[in-house]
């Protein structure tokens, strides 16, 4: 075991197995390293890998952790180890325990888009009047309640609470769950069924959680339930990196732990192994402007490093072009690989221009957390068919493809079918076979509907019997999906691209089918996994290879890169305008802190003097965070320092000089 690769505090965190452990420490101090080494240590101590689960929040982070574990432990001994997101664990529990929760096999998982559609559907038939514009807000509220472990009957008499009740009932009827249910339902199950909980406690005997600061109440409850009174867990986190307040994450969970587990062992790590002293100093200075739960000081044994460059650009076009050029130039001068570089930004929409600029300069890149593969209409169509194969009661999927490709089942028909199904409390699929339908729809129409349902049922049967992929390919052939894409495309190139997406999806499905465990219904398992992948990170696996990383600050959590460009450092972008309006800057500052602390060797910040907003060029102000950084460590390129900042820098430089003079004078 490689305990020698750890410092004394890290070693203490790894070796403490009889008490719950909280590691609280700043960025780059080796928290994730504690988790991976502790997994190895536990296995060395004789705990079988299948009894250990390491949890985190994004697929990307889970993948990264898996990879790091792979370097420490050989595959055989790691067999059965769970390294996943909270939500995949929840899904695993739901899939295995669906009966206990009153679900049928073949659960559908709704994403945010589906959720809103379902709410619209419910609102349209509700006796209470709901304004369509209010629905996204209600959806948010419902999600918030679920993350806070509040059930419909506890939600009070808010209008959204009315919807919440019906929404949950509909989900059940459709044999569907939403993203938040993946955590909420296991918690409810465990609370109500001690024998089920015991089974899971016996299976998962040690839990490790990375990025603990991002857990919400429901997730915390799940952790407590699974680890029981013994509190066999290690959680690691950094309150300064809590950036998911909008998902109900509570840094207070750190304090709560202390209250709930009096034997909690708290370990702080203070050495940073990632960044140069200067980058660390800048990060520390910035975050000092936020209030703190735990005081931390970080130090690095690496050199002080290059100054942090601040580039001022004319507008966002120039920013993208010049960033790409600067990166190329830097790589040329320093050697190294494209994968040593990351361009980080606050909002997804900033990515497009950088993509274009990188492509123009022939720089390979991958985009993470951007325009989703799963957001393409053709991918959504095929996924909807797949969803229907495992769960014909999935109304959202039914509505999407009942008339795609066209089969003369128009919106008017679907509307009538919908209100009939709602009245009868059955799914659309089931409604197609009900006698009562003859009173509102003509025979021909009913024939068409039943023909479609029969077809799906037939494909599903055959797919279950074997050679699943071939059956699905044949299904697409029969419905003429390829021709449908060709007819709908604006030009041949667009058609090629879309069809290729469909092919990619099928390849992906093939892999998941292979991975599906024996004994599971493979199609069912594969499709459920596909749906979760879709919702969780919405990226394609293009990250391998020598490519520049292009991603949001949120997606960059836990990662590190030798060279980082943090772009769009302007008021309104970072901090984001919404946060400025709400006077809630602290979370934005934490985001900026996350960005800065991704950098190992060099950090380049940039902002634009002008930017297009709502079709108009407007003047921009440099981000206040630029002013909060230690000015003596910044090197302004293309423009002299901000007037304020310059004054401050001069002041600070003078102070530094004075200190040296005084020191030398004894």
Q: How far is the CB of 594 from ligand ATP (least distance, A)?
A: 7
Residues 579-608 touching ligand ATP, rule: CB under 6 A, are 597
- Candidates 1-9, 38-46, 96-104, 293-301; binding stretch for ligand ATP (CB under 6 A): 1-9
Active site residue 656: no
Among 9, 22, 24, 31, the residue binding ligand ATP under the rule CB under 6 A is 31
The least distance separating ligand ATP from the CB of residue 205, rounded to whole angstroms, comes to 24
Of these residues, 213, 215, 234, 241, which one is catalytic? 241
Stretch 438-467: interaction string toward ligand ATP, x if CB under 6 A? ------------------------------
* Two structure tokens written together for 329: 């130039």
Contacting residue, 14, 24, 27, 553, with ligand ATP by CB under 6 A:
27
Residue 439 a catalytic site member = no
How far is Cα 56 from Cα 381, in angstroms, rounded to an integer?
A: 30
Binding map of ligand ATP across residues 505-544, x = CB under 6 A, - = no contact: ----------------------------------------
Beginning with the edge strand found earlier in the chain, give each strand of the sheet holding 52-56 in spatial order.
82-85, 52-56, 206-209, 233-237, 21-25, 265-269
Annotated active-site residue in 166, 178, 210, 378:
210
Instruction: Kindly state the tokens that stand for 313.
Output: 């650009």
∠ CA 144-150-154, rounded to 5°: 125
Considering the complex, what minimum distance in angstroms separates the CB of residue 302 from ligand ATP? 10
Binding residue for ligand ATP (CB under 6 A) from 66, 203, 256, 273?
A: 273
CA 91-97-102 angle, to 5 degrees, is 105
d(CA 625, CA 574): 8
Residue 324 in marked binding region: no
Residue 638 annotated as binding site? no
598 a catalytic residue? yes
Residue 7 contact among ligand ATP, Mg ion, none, beta carbon within 5 to 8 Å by kind: ligand ATP
Q: How far is the CB of 68 from ligand ATP (least distance, A)?
A: 8
Neighbour tally for 643: CB within 10 Å: 8
DSSP 221-265: HHHHHHHTTTT-EEEEE-GGG---GGGTB-THHHHHHHHH-TTPE
The verdict on 238 binding ligand ATP (CB under 6 A) reads yes
Q: Is 588 a catalytic residue?
A: no
Q: Which stretch binds ligand ATP (CB under 6 A): 22-30, 200-208, 427-435, 547-555?
A: 22-30
Beta carbons within 8 Å of 151's beta carbon, 6+ residues apart: 145, 188
- Kindly identify the residues of this chain, within the stretch 2-61, that bind Mg ion according to CB under 5 A: 31-32
175 binds, among Mg ion, ligand ATP, none (CB under 5 to 8 A by kind): none
Under the binding rule (CB under 5 A), the answer on residue 237 touching Mg ion is no
**Residue 366: what are its φ and ψ, rounded to 5°?**
-130, 150
Tokens of 13: 């965190």
To Mg ion, the closest distance from the beta carbon of 629 in angstroms equals: 23
Task: Name, in order, each residue with C-beta under 8 angstroms of 464's C-beta and a sequence gap of 6 or more.
Answer: 521, 523
* Partner from Mg ion, ligand ATP, none binding residue 51, C-beta < 5-8 Å depending on class: none
Of 413, 479, 402, 406, residue with least CA distance to 446? 413
From 3-11, 340-348, 562-570, 653-661, give the range in contact with ligand ATP by CB under 6 A: 3-11
- Give the nearest residue (CB) to ligand ATP: 30
For 534-567, give the DSSP string.
Answer: HHHT---S--SSS-EEEEETTTTTT--EEEEEE-
294 touching ligand ATP, by CB under 6 A: no
- How many whole angstroms separate alpha carbon 108 and alpha carbon 130? 26
Measured over the CA atoms of residue 464, residue 468, residue 472 and residue 475, the dihedral's sign is: negative
Catalytic, out of 64, 181, 211, 319: 211
Q: Where are the alpha helices (DSSP H) in 156-193?
A: 159-173, 181-192
Residue 274 touches which of Mg ion, ligand ATP, none (Cβ within 5-8 Å per kind) = ligand ATP
Residue 10 touches ligand ATP, criterion: CB under 6 A = yes
- Does 442 count as an annotated binding residue? no
Query: Rounded to the nearest 5°, which phi and psi values hold at 100?
Result: -60, -25
What is the DSSP track for 355-375? HHHHHHTT--EEEESSS-GGG
Catalytic residue among 278, 380, 589, 598: 598
For 255, the token pair is 């304090």
Per the annotation, binding residues are 25-32, 274
Q: Which of the residues are catalytic? A: 31-32, 210-211, 241, 598
Interaction site with Mg ion (CB under 5 A): 31-32, 558
Interaction site with ligand ATP (CB under 6 A): 5-7, 10, 25, 27-33, 238, 241, 273-274, 558, 560, 597
């Amino acid at each position: 075991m490689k305990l020698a690769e750890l410092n004394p505090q890290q070693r203490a965190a790894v070796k403490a197995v009889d008490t719950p452990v909280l590691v609280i420490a700043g960025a780059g101090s080796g928290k994730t390293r504690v988790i991976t080494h502790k997994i190895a240590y536990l296995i060395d101590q004789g705990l079988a890998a299948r009894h250990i689960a390491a949890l985190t929040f994004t697929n990307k982070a889970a993948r990264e952790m898996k990879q790091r574990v792979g370097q420490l432990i050989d595959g055989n001994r790691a067999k059965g180890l769970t390294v996943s997101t909270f939500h995949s664990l929840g899904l695993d529990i739901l899939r295995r325990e669906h009966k206990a929760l009153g679900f049928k096999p073949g659960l559908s998982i709704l994403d945010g888009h589906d959720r809103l559609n379902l709410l619209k559907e419910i609102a349209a038939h509700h006796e209470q009047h709901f304004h369509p514009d209010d629905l996204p807000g209600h959806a948010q509220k419902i999600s918030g309640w679920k993350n806070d472990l509040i059930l419909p009957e506890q939600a009070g008499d808010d209008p959204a609470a009315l919807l919440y009740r019906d929404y949950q009932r509909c989900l059940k009827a459709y044999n569907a769950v939403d993203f938040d249910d993946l955590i909420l339902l296991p918690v409810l199950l465990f609370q109500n069924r001690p024998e089920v909980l015991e089974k899971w406690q016996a299976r998962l005997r040690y839990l490790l959680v990375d990025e603990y600061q991002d857990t919400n109440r429901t997730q915390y409850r799940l952790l407590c339930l699974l680890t029981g009174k013994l509190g066999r867990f290690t959680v690691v986190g950094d309150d300064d990196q809590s950036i998911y307040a909008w998902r109900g994450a509570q840094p207070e969970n750190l304090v709560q732990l202390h209250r709930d587990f009096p034997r909690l062992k708290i370990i702080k790590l203070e050495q940073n192994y990632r960044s140069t002293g200067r980058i660390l100093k800048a990060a520390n200075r910035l975050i000092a402007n936020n209030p703190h739960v735990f005081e931390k000081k970080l130090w690095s044994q690496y050199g002080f490093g290059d100054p942090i460059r601040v580039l001022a650009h004319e507008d966002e076009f120039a920013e993208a072009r010049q960033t790409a050029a600067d990166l190329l130039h830097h790589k040329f001068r320093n050697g190294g690989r494209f994968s040593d570089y990351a361009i980080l930004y606050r909002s997804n929409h900033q990515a497009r221009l950088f993509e274009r600029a990188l492509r123009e300069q022939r720089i390979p890149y991958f985009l993470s957390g951007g325009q989703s593969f799963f957001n393409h209409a053709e991918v959504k169509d095929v996924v909807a068919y797949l969803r229907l194969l495992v769960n014909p009661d999935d109304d959202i999927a039914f509505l999407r493809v009942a008339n795609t490709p066209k089969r003369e089942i128009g919106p008017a028909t679907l509307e009538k079918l919908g209100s009939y199904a709602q009245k009868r409390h059955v799914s659309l699929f089931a409604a197609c076979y009900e006698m009562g339908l003859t009173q509102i729809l003509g025979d021909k129409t009913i024939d068409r509907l039943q023909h479609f349902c029969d077809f799906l049922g037939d494909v599903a049967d055959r797919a279950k019997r074997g050679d699943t992929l071939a059956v699905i390919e044949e299904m697409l052939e029969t419905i003429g999906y390829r021709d449908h894409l060709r007819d709908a495309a604006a030009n041949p190139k667009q058609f090629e691209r879309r069809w290729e997406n469909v092919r990619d999806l099928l390849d992906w499905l093939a892999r998941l089918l292979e991975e599906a465990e024996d004994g599971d219904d493979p199609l069912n398992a594969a499709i459920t996994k596909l749906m979760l992948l879709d919702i969780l990170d919405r990226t394609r696996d293009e990250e391998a290879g020598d490519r520049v990383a292009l991603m949001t600050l949120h997606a960059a959590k836990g990662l590190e890169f030798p060279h980082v460009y943090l772009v769009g450092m302007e008021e309104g972008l970072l901090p984001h305008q919404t946060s400025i309006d709400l006077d809630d800057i602290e979370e934005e500052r934490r985001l900026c802190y996350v960005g800065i602390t991704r950098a190992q060797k060099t950090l380049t910040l940039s902002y634009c003097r002008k930017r297009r907003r709502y079709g108009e060029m407007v003047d921009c102000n440099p981000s206040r965070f630029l002013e909060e950084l230690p000015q003596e460590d910044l090197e302004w390129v293309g423009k002299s320092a901000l007037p304020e900042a310059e004054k401050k820098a001069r002041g600070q430089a003078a102070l530094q000089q004075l200190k040296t003079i005084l020191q030398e004078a004894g």
